[in-house]
Structure 1
Amino acid sequence: MAKAGSSERPDWPLAVVVGAGGLGMVVARRLGLSHRLLIADRDAQLAEQHCADLRSQGYDAIAIACDVTSPSDIAALADAASAQGNVRTLAHVVGLSPAAKDFTAIMAVNLVGAASVAQSFLDVLEPGGAGIFISSSAAHMQDVPAALLPLLDDPLRPDFIAALAAELGAEANANQAYSLSKAALNRMCRRLAPAWGKRGLRIVSLSPGLIASPQGAESYKHSAGKMALLEAAPLGRECSMLEIAGVAAFLASDQASYITGTDILVDGGLIAAVRPGS
């Protein structure tokens, strides 16, 4: 039952949303229609401001500080979620774009952090629950060299980023970090599906195409080819954050109860247009 005089809904399941940026908060609002919310972000003040706004609008939302590059922060997040109980949904939205211009930081956040969160929540999510990891259509833009796959499939090895940088050599740049981290994230969700399934859990990646978001708008300044991609998209526009949040909510719902170990590409047909034979 709802708690009298408040927006608290202890009878609802919990959704953990990692990342309080633009897309993260749109996803949180959509999930918050049927979940309690635990919103995690490196910027604790930002997360708390968002949660205060949500509570004033009738959502059941609390904030926690979490830097996904910090194992201790991730462990604390898992413990906090477990203490709340009935953890049904994990929406991992945090990520860095090529605009970060830092190979190490992009790999650490987009892949190593995501893998660490996935590992920590395997014992936290309750049967019937789902982990949804926001990826990118960039994962589909190029073929990953077969020689890199064993390394990319082991992101939690202690020297992972250094070893990958050594393999790439001069190609260890921000753009490569972004596309490889997203391709490896999609592979991670496929690889983990059997182990998650044994716990009664589902895990999927969700790859938006060109998305109208603050981060997406910033990337036009750093990528000369992005406008050409927009012009190539069959639907002729970017997707909205609301559209992505709607797909995320569907994947978290019982309507998607047989969807796991796969990537959901929401790109307006972009990959079909630019890589028709892939």
Structure 2
Amino acid sequence: MTTVSVITGAGGMGVPTARNLRSDNHIVLFDNSQERLDAAVADLGGAESGDRTVTAVLGDVTDRTAVDGLFATATGIGPIASVVHTAGVSPSMGAAEFVTRINALGTVNVAEALLALDSGAIADGAAIVNVASMAAHLVPAELIPEKLFPGALTDPEGFITALLEVYSPFPAEAHSGFAYAVSKGFVKWYSWAQAERFTAAGIRIVSVSPGSVDTEMGRLEAESGAGALVEGANIPRWGTAQEMADLFTYCVSDKAGYLTGTDILNDGGVVASMRARAADAAR
């Protein structure tokens, strides 16, 4: 039986993840750029090369109808074995509302569309990995408005409005960066808070929080502080897209069959270093 791995985001981390998973699954790539999709398929050797094929689907994660269409295409090929949700944007790529919609509501749309599938469309041992960020670990917990997060599932527009109000007291130039941290904090929250719902459907759910990764999007943030964070890390270099892809691949594999409802921080020790230095300074 052909099983399917759905990967959102045909960029830096999505392509090596697809390459890892392709030997065992038909890959369905989802992105809002036809150019990126075409490049990804070519990078993977073409749609028909190798043991499995690749299907590219054009669409936006903020459009639930498009996401439902993605899963209709995927389940028409075979049961879903895994979903790796890498699609997202960084602070340099847009205003606070745009960042929040893509990162937070995009996660809701992808995960909830998966959860809405009939049980026969889900392979045994299925799993979803949502990509969060170390940024969610760097912001003080009291600034992450978790009490507002359930609203994303019941009133998406009200959720966006409420978060924009949370951002408003901060300087305008900080809104996108703060929105990024909060929206990735939402991804972390969703991946543990909804774990029981996914367990009931036979799906494991995990989030992974990468640090500074050497991708086109990651390098956009080099001048806004990410470069300095890398230099101060326990492992003072940028992470690679392949390192992240290997972790995502492990998380959706049978080897991680006991792993669900948690976040994995994969940041080269940035957060650990910052916490240790803060603790030393407070003594």
Structure 1 length-normalised TM: 0.90
Distance in 2 (alpha carbons) for counterparts of 1:215 and 1:202: 28
Secondary structure of residue in 2 paired with 1:118? helix
Post-superposition shift, 1:126? 3.0
Match of 2:77 among 80, 84, 100: 84
Post-superposition shift, 1:26? 1.6
Distance 1:232-1:68 versus aligned 2 partners, 3 A rule: same
Tell me, yes or no, if the aligned pair for 1:54 and 1:60 is still in contact at 8 Å.
no
Distance 1:153-1:133 versus aligned 2 partners, 3 A rule: same
Match of 2:54 among 58, 61, 77: 61
* 1:130 to 2:120 alignment: no
Q: Which amino acid aligns with 1:93?
A: T
Residues 195-214 of structure 1 aligned to structure 2 (within 5 Å): 195-214=197-216
* 1:266 to 2:266 alignment: yes
* 1:219 to 2:218 alignment: no
Distance in 2 (alpha carbons) for counterparts of 1:189 and 1:140: 15
Distance in 1 (alpha carbons) for counterparts of 2:231 and 2:247: 24
2:139 match? 142
Q: Kindly provide the CA deviation profile for residues 129-164 of structure 1, in whole angstroms up to 9, marking residues without a partner as x.
A: 000011111110022337822112322313211121
Distance in 2 (alpha carbons) for counterparts of 1:41 and 1:33: 21
Distance in 1 (alpha carbons) for counterparts of 2:235 and 2:165: 40
Distance in 2 (alpha carbons) for counterparts of 1:131 and 1:195: 13
Distance 1:194-1:102 versus aligned 2 partners, 3 A rule: same
Tell me, yes or no, if the aligned pair for 2:100 and 2:183 is still in contact at 8 Å.
yes
| Structure 1: gaps (5+ residues) | 1-10
Distance in 2 (alpha carbons) for counterparts of 1:229 and 1:95: 21
Post-superposition shift, 1:166? 1.6
Secondary structure of residue in 2 paired with 1:184? helix
Tell me, yes or no, if the aligned pair for 1:141 and 1:275 is still in contact at 8 Å.
no
Distance in 2 (alpha carbons) for counterparts of 1:154 and 1:251: 28
Distance in 1 (alpha carbons) for counterparts of 2:142 and 2:256: 32
1:164 match? 163
Bigger drift between 105-114 and 120-129 goes to 120-129
Match of 2:65 among 61, 64, 72: 72
Distance 1:146-1:22 versus aligned 2 partners, 3 A rule: closer
2:228 match? 228
Q: Kindly provide the CA deviation profile for residues 69-109 of structure 1, in whole angstroms up to 9, marking residues without a partner as x.
A: 11211111121122122210000001100111310110000
Q: How many residues align?
A: 266
Structure 2 length-normalised TM: 0.88
| Structure 2: gaps (5+ residues) | none
1:31 match? 21
Distance in 2 (alpha carbons) for counterparts of 1:53 and 1:208: 23
Q: Kindly provide the CA deviation profile for residues 19-72 of structure 1, in whole angstroms up to 9, marking residues without a partner as x.
A: 111111121111112211000111134314422443535251011112011121
